[in-house]
Amino acid sequence: MAQSVDMPIEFKCTNCQSLLSVPETGSGKRARCPHCKSLNLIPKTKPVEPAEPPASQQFFIDSVSGSAFGPITKLELDQWVREGRISGDCIVRASGEKRGLPASRYYPNLQPSPNHRPQTTNEEVALDRHPIAKTVATQDANPSSKTTKIARHNGYSVIPTATDFELIFHAAVKLFLHNAWILSTTALICMLPAIADAMYRLAEIQLDAIPQILLNLVQIYLSIGQARLAIQICRGQRATFATVYSGGDKFLPVILFSFLAYIALTLGVLLLVFPAVLLLLYLWPSYFLIVDDQADVFQSLTMAKDICTPNVLTTFLLGLTSIGILIAGLLVCGVGIIPASGFVSILWAVSYLAMSGQLSFE
């Protein structure tokens, strides 16, 4: 009898279009793209390879030096490669496509430019640097859910994923130790409106409604930047203090979300508190989804529920831990609240990315 041979399943990453290959046993599971770190659902059947592009198709080339060339045909592109005019790290984009790929993806024998060095900012604290795609069990993923359908694929995929508290906490500690200065300083900047309000109260100066509202708005604006900075650190991206002041584009959506959350929590408290606790457990990722530009205000509510459904206990433990850390910070002469707030910010950023399938701990 002839023995059956397992054929690898080849498919393209839904985000960066890289060609991935996994064993046939991975059918129906998930694989993390080694190039853009997005999670992809492995097809249950091997997809049909697209036809070879016609020789007349036009391409555009972005060189390492920043110069752009094109359009040129496929025949001309082949000729340029033979003449050595294109290096492996030049970006080649076919006409009609929004994003290009390195030329080495089309021509594996091409070498990168000797003058080009890839960026490795914060690489020592990156949590997912595996050279090959690794499959993950799919009991936590639901590709037909609304979250998967409405997620904006702007570089990162949102897939609800069950995550352990210990893994999140350990990763947050590691990231905080490597970025304690910028996280603590950012936390202090975000506290300035609250500190100003407290000083007025100590001086028994009653602020009018408008100054009080302005302080609250400044607090919201700075908090957006704080969340973005924490997300950047988790993704291994370059984070600077300028990020703290980058929340203008999400200011109005966050104001709307804060207003809706305030009404919902007020009603929840009036209904014997327990509904308010449930709202906090299930809807907290909405804030990060909005700030991270993954969904609008109303879409984020559905996505947040999907993300938290397999992580209710983990979220509860994270909430208790955050409260304990902040209280401990206050007990350290009051100033301990600054690093404590910085740690809490990175803790919840790690939680958001891990529970939404954008960060693995393998």
Pick the more confident residue, 353 or 72.
Answer: 353
Which residue, 308, 296, 289, 288, is CA-closest to 355?
Answer: 308
**pLDDT on residue 44:** 66
Mean pLDDT of 58-64: 76
Which two tokens mark 343? Answer: 């740690």
Tokens at 264, concatenated? 């919902």
The beta-strand segments (E) located in 74-130 are: 91-94, 101-102
The closest of 163, 158, 156, 168 to 300, measured between CA atoms, is 158
Summarize the confidence of residues 87-94 as an average pLDDT.
80
Beta-carbon contacts of residue 15 (< 8 Å; ≥ 6 apart): 33, 36, 38, 40, 153, 155, 156, 157
Whether omega before 53 lies within 30 degrees of 0, making that bond cis, reads no
Average pLDDT over residues 277-293: 85
Provide the β-strand partners of residue 20: 11
pLDDT at residue 144, as a whole number: 41
pLDDT of 53: 54
Is the pLDDT reported for residue 117 higher than 50?
no
Higher-confidence residue: 124 or 200? 200
Are the C-beta atoms of residues 226 and 242 closer than 8 Å to each other?
A: no
User: What are the angstrom distances between the C-alpha of 242 and each of 48, 186, 192, 290, 325?
Assistant: 46, 10, 16, 19, 27
Mean pLDDT over 280-303 rounds to: 86
Q: Which helix (H) or strand (E) holds 70?
A: strand 68-73
pLDDT for the residue 67: 64
Show me where the domains of the chain are located. Answer: 58-106, 146-355
Average pLDDT score over residue span 10-20:
77
Q: Does position 1 have pLDDT exceeding 50, yes or no?
A: no
Average pLDDT, the chain: 76
More confident residue, 235 or 99: 235
Nearest to 58 by CA among 75, 33, 38: 75
Superfamily of domain 58-106: GYF domain (3.30.1490.40)
CA proximity to 171, closest of 352, 32, 9: 352
Average pLDDT over residues 100-116: 71
Greater model confidence, 273 or 350: 350
Is 148 a residue whose pLDDT tops 60? Answer: no
pLDDT confidence of residue 157: 60
Average pLDDT over residues 212-239: 88
By residue count, the chain amounts to 362
What's the rounded Cα separation, in Å, for the pair 179 and 235? 13
Residue 106 has pLDDT above 70, yes or no: yes
Higher pLDDT, 224 or 7: 224
214 has a pLDDT exceeding 60: yes
Give the global pTM: 0.59
| The residue to which tokens 């984009």 are assigned | 93
Return the pLDDT at 95.
72
How much is the average pLDDT of 315-321? 92
What integer pLDDT is reported at residue 6 of this predicted model? 54
**CB under 8 A, 24+ apart: contacts of 145-154:** 145/306, 146/302, 146/303, 146/306, 147/302, 147/303, 147/306, 147/307, 150/295, 150/299, 150/302, 150/303, 151/294, 151/295, 151/303, 152/293, 152/294, 152/295, 153/14, 153/15, 153/38, 154/293, 154/294
